[in-house]
Amino acid sequence: MYEETSAPIPNPAVGGAAIRCAFFPPPPANDAPADVKGLIDLILTRYHDTHRRELPQAIAMARKVEAVHAGDAECPRGLADHLAFMADDLESHQQREEQVLFPMILGGGSPMIRFPIGRMMAEHADVEEQLVRLRALTHDHSAPPGACATWRALVIACRKLDFDLREHMRLENEVLFEPFLT
Ligand SMILES: [Fe+2]
Ligand SMILES: [Fe+2]
How many angstroms is it from 68 CA to the middle of ligand 2? 34
Model confidence at 79: pLDDT above 80: yes
How many angstroms is it from 169 CA to the middle of ligand 2? 6
How many angstroms is it from 105 CA to the middle of ligand 2? 13
How many angstroms is it from 9 CA to the middle of ligand 2? 22
Phi, psi of 18 (to 5 degrees): -75, 140
Percent of the chain with pLDDT over 90: 74
- Complete DSSP assignment for 123-165: HHHHHHHHHHHHHHHTTTT---TT--HHHHHHHHHHHHHHHHH
How many angstroms is it from 132 CA to the middle of ligand 2? 17
* pLDDT given for residue 30 in this prediction: 57
* pLDDT given for residue 55 in this prediction: 98
**Residues with Cβ–ion distance below 5 A, ligand 2:** 120, 172
Q: Is the whole model's pTM more than 0.85, yes or no?
A: no
Q: Closest ligand to 177 CA? A: 2
Domain residue spans of the chain: 33-180
* pLDDT given for residue 110 in this prediction: 86
Per-residue pLDDT averaged across 152-175, rounded? Answer: 96
How many angstroms is it from 1 CA to the middle of ligand 1? 23
Q: Environment class of residue 57 by beta-carbon count within 10 Å: exposed (0-12), middle (13-18) or buried (19+)?
A: middle
